[in-house]
């Protein structure tokens, strides 16, 4: 199963503008739909850049963006993700409480 994420950029869009305006939305969308970075499996980025259309695997696209920004996918998730934990919360071990009956 695959899904597409459409990204339309004006011909004069700079990488800095993309990183500031579009990247946070992309990362949030991927994380909120359960498609986690860095691989983002099953997602194709349909990138409309001016008159050109590019089809890119989301994981490869994120890797290239991270290399250009000097950040890791984990940093992008921390900055722009949903803030939800990906694993169950691990609680401290429970206290060994008595049964409530007093010993005499």
pLDDT digits (tens, 9 = 90+) for 55-92: 999 999 999 999 999 999 999 999 999 988 777 777 77
User: How many residues in total does the chain contain?
Assistant: 104
Query: Among residues 38, 5, 14, 23, which one has the least CA distance to residue 79?
Result: 23
Residue 52 has pLDDT above 80, yes or no: yes
The predicted structure's pLDDT at residue 101: 61
Determine the Cα–Cα distance for residues 67 and 53; give it in Å rounded to an integer. Answer: 22
The predicted structure's pLDDT at residue 91: 72
Q: Give the H/E segment covering residue 3.
A: strand 3-9
Residue 51 has pLDDT above 80, yes or no: yes
The predicted structure's pLDDT at residue 97: 61
Q: Which residues pair with 7 in a beta bridge?
A: 47
Look up the pTM and report it: 0.79
pLDDT grade, residue 27 (50/70/90)? very high
Tokens of residue 8, six digits: 């339309």
Determine the Cα–Cα distance for residues 41 and 35; give it in Å rounded to an integer. Answer: 6
């Amino acid at each position: 199963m695959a899904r597409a994420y459409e990204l339309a950029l004006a011909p004069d869009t700079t990488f800095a503008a993309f990183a500031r305006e579009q990247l946070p939305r992309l990362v949030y969308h991927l994380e909120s739909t359960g498609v986690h970075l860095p691989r983002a499996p099953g997602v194709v980025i349909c990138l409309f850049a001016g008159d050109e259309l590019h089809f890119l695997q989301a994981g490869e696209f994120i890797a290239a963006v991270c290399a250009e920004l000097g950040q890791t996918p984990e940093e992008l998730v921390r900055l722009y993700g949903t803030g939800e934990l990906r694993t169950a919360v691990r609680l401290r071990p429970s206290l060994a409480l008595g049964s409530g009956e007093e010993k005499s």
